[in-house]
A and B are shown apart, each in its own frame.
Chain A
Amino acid sequence: MPGRLSAIASAVLLVAMAVPAHAATIEITMENLEMSPKDASAKVGDTIEWINKDVFAHTATAGNGDFDVNLPAKKSGTLVLKKAGTVDYYCRYHPNMKATLKIEP
Chain B
Amino acid sequence: MFVRWSAAIAAAILLSSPALLQGARAADKPTDPQIAHIAYTAGVIDINAAKQAQKKARNKDVKAFAEDMLRDHEAVNKQALALVKKLNVTPEDNDTSKALSKQASDKLAELDKLDGAAFDKAYVANEVAYHKAVNGALETQLIPSAGNAELKSLLQTGLKIFQGHQQHAEHVAAELK
Contact = CB atoms under 8 A, between A and B. Distances in A.
Do A and B belong to a common assembly?
yes
Nearest to A57: B71
A94 interface: yes
Interface in B27-83: 68, 71-72, 75, 78-79
A56 B160 CA distance: 12
Contacts of A56: 71-72, 75, 161
B153 to A, nearest CB: 9
Contact of A33 (B71, B78, B79, B157): B157
A55 interface: yes
For chain A, give the interface size range: 10 to 19
Interface class of chain B by DSSP: helix
Interface class of chain A by DSSP: loop
B79 to A, nearest CB: 6
Contact of A94 (B78, B79, B165): B165
Nearest to B78: A55
Contacts of B168: 92-95
B173 to A, nearest CB: 13
7 contacts: A32-B160, A73-B75, A93-B168, A94-B163, A94-B168, A95-B171, A96-B163
